[in-house]
A and B are shown apart, each in its own frame.
Chain A
Amino acid sequence: EAGVVQSPRYKIIEKKQPVAFWCNPISGHNTLYWYLQNLGQGPELLIRYENEEAVDDSQLPKDRFSAERLKGVDSTLKIQPAELGDSAVYLCASSLSGYAEAFFGQGTRLTVV
């Protein structure tokens, strides 16, 4: 069974530029998460989807971050414009339901210069 797939693995952009990350969850998983992880720290939730609905986006900086999960499958996370402080690893995870274990992708390492 294929795991959670994220792309790209690495991205380097200049500040003020836009960037997008893509996530394909495990087939059949209804719940999808986007996390941010800074070096040496634990993951911080940005947004959680149940199917197509964003059920928890309280930690998403909505002035510059946006996300979508069309058709309740793949998801895209966008930052526009990027700031130096956005440099981090962006992790996508999925689970069968909100009350099941989450499986993570490899992450996208973003460097803003």
Chain B
Amino acid sequence: GDSVTQMEGPVTLSEEAFLTINCTYTATGYPSLFWYVQYPGEGLQLLLKATKADDKGSNKGFEATYRKETTSFHLEKGSVQVSDSAVYFCALLTPSNYQLIWGAGTKLIIKP
């Protein structure tokens, strides 16, 4: 069945470091792909999305490119800040039955 696999956390980085959080997926057809962020005690916020192959989603300095050939949607940011500390979820939306499939989440800790 359809699934999303994220790198395990926590990921701990120093401020201004480069961030990559890996996400790979298994799906039939052409799903839409999303990154959501959850700050402590908050709900999930849509960070960025991509709806077709080679699309690049971007927001708040974060980027992710929909790579169909490698079935990946890795999240990147060039210079992280302490305020980026949160849990990041990769998700896909299946075109067949409109199900949102979630990764397990990756906790990111940024140290000053």
Contacts and interface: CB of A to CB of B under 8 A. Distances in A.
A103 B104 contact: no
Nearest to A97: B98
Given A42-B104, A43-B44, A101 B98 contact: no
Interface residues of B, number: 20
Interface in A34-72: 40-43, 45, 48, 56
Contacts of B103: 42
A105 interface: yes
A109 to B, nearest CB: 8
Contacts of B69: none
B43 A105 contact: yes
A107 B97 CA distance: 25
Is chain A's interface secondary structure helix, strand, loop, or mixed overall?
loop
A21 interface: no
Interface residues of A, number: 22
Given A99-B32, A101-B34, A45 B43 contact: no
B93 to A, nearest CB: 6
Contacts of A101: 32, 34, 46, 49, 93
Contacts of A98: 98
A103 B93 CA distance: 13
A42 B89 contact: yes
B45 interface: yes
Contact of A99 (B34, B93, B104, B105): B93
B100 A102 contact: yes
Interface of A: 4, 6, 31, 33, 40-43, 45, 48, 56, 91, 93, 98-99, 101-107
Interface of B: 32, 34, 36, 42-46, 49, 89, 93, 95, 97-100, 102-105
11 contacts: A31-B98, A33-B100, A41-B105, A42-B89, A42-B104, A43-B89, A56-B99, A102-B46, A102-B100, A103-B46, A104-B45
